[in-house]
Amino acid sequence: MNIDFQGQTVIVTGAAHGFGRAIALAFAWNGASVWACDLNDSGLAETARLAAHDGLTIQTRTVDVGDGAAVQALVAEVAAATGRVDVLVNNAGGVLGQVGRPLEEISAADWHAIFRVNVDGAFLFAQAVAPHMKRQRSGRIINISSGAGLGISLTGIQAYASAKAAQIGLTRQLAHELGEWGITVNNVAPGFVRSNPTTELQWESYGEEGQRKLVQGIALRRLGTPDDIASAVMFFASAQAGWISGQVLSVDGGK
């Protein structure tokens, strides 16, 4: 399969580490003009440095994905600079440092904070790129959810499981709304991957026995990597996936 993004413009959110960084680098390696955003300035700088080490360029911008004006400004800048927006990867998300607690202890602020980055961000970016993709009559939107959105959160964080399920619902709805313009909207649902400081803490919290049980519950008997997730995104963004939309692909080693 020849996957090539020469001449295409790609926006990747949450690109300061983990999945987002791997996705941004993969698009750059495959010829795309990549614009990566996050709130983590130092992480973004490292993403750009890794690209430069391989002779590639990734444009980075500090953006709060829950800020509609900032999202619109970034997309307008990208479109003005390159003349098009071909691929949007909504990767920004996570648990924002929260841990599992009983339902009655969850504040409204904590609940809404997780929805803001995981759902609002995906909605706002899709809303911003849609006019450009409609004008081109082509585009790819790929949302990164989680196995938690299809089942339960391993950490017991109610808002995270709910937000990722909502993001999957948004994926399916937008696929039907935008399809007539040649825009596909799909979703990658990763299994557990040690990809950032939060997942490292989660992994350590399981202890040796819990880690063994988690790996034994995976058909391939290994944890995934950020590159495994990036590979799924490359497929959904490619010409080979031109008649696939509204789908959720679990990339979890087999459950």
The enclosing domain of 100 has a CATH number of: 3.40.50.720
Q: Which of 19, 123, 160, 236 is catalytic?
A: 160
- pLDDT bin (cut points 50, 70, 90) of residue 159 is very high
87: in domain: yes
Residue 82's domain comprises 9-193+227-249
Domain for residue 144, yes or no? yes
Which value, to the nearest 10 degrees, does the dihedral of the CA atoms of residues 24, 26, 30, 31 take?
20
Residue 129 lies in a domain: yes
- Residue found by looking up tokens 């071909």 in the block: 86
Instruction: Give per-residue pLDDT as tens, 6-64.
Output: 999 999 999 999 999 999 999 999 999 999 999 999 999 999 999 999 999 999 999 99
61 in a structural domain: yes
204 occurs within a structural domain: no
The reported pTM is: 0.95
**Tens of pLDDT, residues 74-86:** 999 999 999 999 9
Count Cβ atoms within 10 A of the Cβ of residue 197 and give its class: 0-12 exposed, 13-18 middle, 19 or more buried: exposed
Based on the residue annotation, tell me whether 160 is a catalytic residue of this protein: yes
pLDDT digits (tens, 9 = 90+) for 165-211: 999 999 999 999 999 999 999 999 999 899 888 888 888 889 999 99
Give 14's Cβ-side CA count (13 Å radius). 25
Residue 156 lies in a domain: yes
65 or 153: whose pLDDT is higher? 65
Backbone phi, psi, residue 37, to 5°:
-135, 160
Residue 64 lies in a domain: yes
Total domains, the chain:
1
Cβ atoms of 229 and 89 closer than 8 Å? no
Q: Is residue 78 part of a domain?
A: yes
